[in-house]
Copies of this chain bind each other. A is one copy, B any other.
Amino acid sequence: MSFSYKRTANYYETDQMGVVHHSNHIRYFEEARIAFMNSIGCNVREMEDNGIIIPNVDAYARYLSPIRFGDEIEVIVRLTKFNGAVMEYSYEILRKDGETAATGHTLHCFVDRDFKPMALKKKHPQYYERTKPQVEKTE
């Protein structure tokens, strides 16, 4: 199982190569990941309001075919690892013609407002409980 997030590539996301600049794929990953989290009851805005900050530990993208202005794209998100301390996602960006535009993955941790590590299971068990079962489901 996996989560699907759709959007259209914007004009201002292209560069003079005539295709979406490669840094924007990292932003598409973020949009899709946040949409997924919101969908399982882990509203990211609400979590931040509760002092749970979720920075990136790393980010990787592999570019397979270009995305052009106006292309409708679908980002397939999978939660591949989660233990309350770190959370790992994989992504696949599909174009409407079925072509894979990019794949990638990101690793995240949980910190408080001072960027100190936070044990999500202990501090906010509700978010832990909602996220944990998704690892299996989205693999």
| Chain A residues packing against B (C-beta within 8 Å) | 10-12, 14-19, 21-24, 26-27, 30-31, 34, 43-45, 48, 53, 55-63, 66, 68-70, 115
Contact = CB atoms under 8 A, between A and B. Distances in A.
Could you tell me the dominant secondary structure of chain A's interface residues? Answer: mixed
Given A27-B12, A70-B44, A58 B60 contact: yes
Given A45-B68, A55-B63, A58-B61, 8 more contacts: A12-B30, A14-B16, A17-B55, A22-B56, A23-B26, A45-B70, A58-B62, A59-B61
A11 B44 CA distance: 9
The 8 closest A-B pairs by CB, nearest first: A14-B16, A45-B70, A22-B56, A23-B26, A58-B62, A60-B60, A16-B18, A12-B27
B60 A59 contact: yes
A22 B24 CA distance: 11
